[in-house]
A and B are shown apart, each in its own frame.
Chain A
Amino acid sequence: MSDFYEVGPAEPVVISTRVDKVSPKARREHNVRAAIVIAIAMFCLLPIFVMSMTAFKTRSDAVSAPPKLLFKPTLEGFVFLFTERALVPPARAQELLASDTTDLSLFERVALSSGQEITGPSDYVGRLKNSLIIAGVSTIFSVVLGFFAAYAFSRFDVPGKDDLMFFILSTRMLPAVVVTIPLFLMYRQFGLHDTYQGMILLYTVFNLSLAVWLLKGFIDEIPLEYEEAALVDGYSRIQAIFKIVLPQAMTGIAATVVFSLIFAWNEYAFALMLTSDKARTAPPTIATMLGRGGIEWSAIAAGSLGFLIPVAIVVFLLRDYLLRGVTFGAVRR
Chain B
Amino acid sequence: MSSVELQKITKRFKYVTALEDVSFMVHDREFFVLLGPTGAGKTSTLRIIAALLKQDSGSVLFDGEVVDGLTPADRDVAFVFQQYSLYPTMTVYDNLAFPLRSPLRKTPEDEIKTKVEHAAEILRISHLLDRKTAKLSGGEMQRVSIGRAIVREPRMFLMDEPLSNLDAKLRESLRVELQHMQKTQGNTTLFVTHDQIEALTMADRIGVLNEGRLIQVGTPVDIYDRPATTFVAQLVGTPRINLLPAGRENGTIHVDESLLQMPAPEGRTLPDKLLVGIRPEDISLNPTGQFNGTVVLTEPLGVETIVHVQSGERTLLSLAPGMIHLQRGADIRFNLLQDRLHFFDETGKRIA
Contact = CB atoms under 8 A, between A and B. Distances in A.
Contacts of B72: 228, 231-232
A236 B47 CA distance: 16
Interface string B8-39: 00000000000000000000000000000000
Contacts of A244: 87
A229 B50 CA distance: 10
B191 interface: no
A114 interface: no
Given A233-B98, A233-B99, A233-B148, A226 B84 contact: yes
B79 interface: yes
B84 A234 contact: no
A77 B148 CA distance: 64
Most chain B beta-carbon neighbours within 10 Å: one of A225, A229, A230: A229
Contacts of B82: 225
B50 to A, nearest CB: 5
A331 to B, nearest CB: 11
A248 B81 CA distance: 19
B73 interface: yes
Contacts of B105: 234
A212 to B, nearest CB: 24
A234 B102 contact: yes
A223 interface: yes
A132 B53 CA distance: 45
Contacts of A233: 73, 78, 98-99, 102, 148
Contacts of B237: none
B103 interface: yes
B85 interface: yes
A252 to B, nearest CB: 14
Interface string A205-229: 0000000000000000001011011
A232 B52 CA distance: 8
Most chain B beta-carbon neighbours within 10 Å: one of A223, A225, A234, A247: A234
B99 to A, nearest CB: 4
Interface residues of B, number: 27
Contacts of A234: 73, 76, 99, 102-105
A232 B77 contact: yes
Given A232-B52, A233-B102, A235-B73, A225 B89 contact: no
B88 interface: yes
Nearest to A222: B84
B284 interface: no
Given A232-B79, A235-B103, A236-B73, A226 B52 contact: no
A239 interface: yes
Nearest to B80: A229
B161 to A, nearest CB: 13
B81 A229 contact: yes
Contact of A228 (B81, B88, B103): B81
Interface in A230-277: 230-236, 239, 244, 247-248
Contacts of B148: 229, 233
A228 B52 contact: yes
Contacts of B52: 228, 231-232
B83 interface: yes
A235 to B, nearest CB: 5
Given A234-B73, A234-B103, A229 B79 contact: yes
Given A230-B98, A232-B78, A233-B102, A225 B84 contact: yes
A281 B191 CA distance: 62
B128 to A, nearest CB: 13
A225 B99 contact: no
A239 B103 contact: yes
B151 to A, nearest CB: 10
A290 B307 CA distance: 96
A223 B103 CA distance: 23
Interface string B86-97: 011100000000
B87 A226 contact: yes
Contacts of A247: 87, 89
A233 B75 CA distance: 10
B85 A226 contact: yes
Nearest to A250: B89
Contact of B83 (A225, A230, A236, A239): A225
Given A233-B73, A235-B102, 6 more contacts: A225-B83, A228-B81, A230-B98, A232-B50, A232-B77, A247-B89
Interface of B: 47, 50, 52, 71-73, 75-79, 81-85, 87-89, 98-99, 102-105, 134, 148
Interface of A: 223, 225-226, 228-236, 239, 244, 247-248, 332
10 closest Cβ pairs, A-B complex: A234-B102, A233-B99, A234-B104, A231-B72, A223-B84, A229-B85, A232-B79, A234-B73, A225-B84, A225-B85
7 contacts: A223-B83, A228-B81, A230-B98, A231-B73, A232-B78, A235-B102, A235-B103
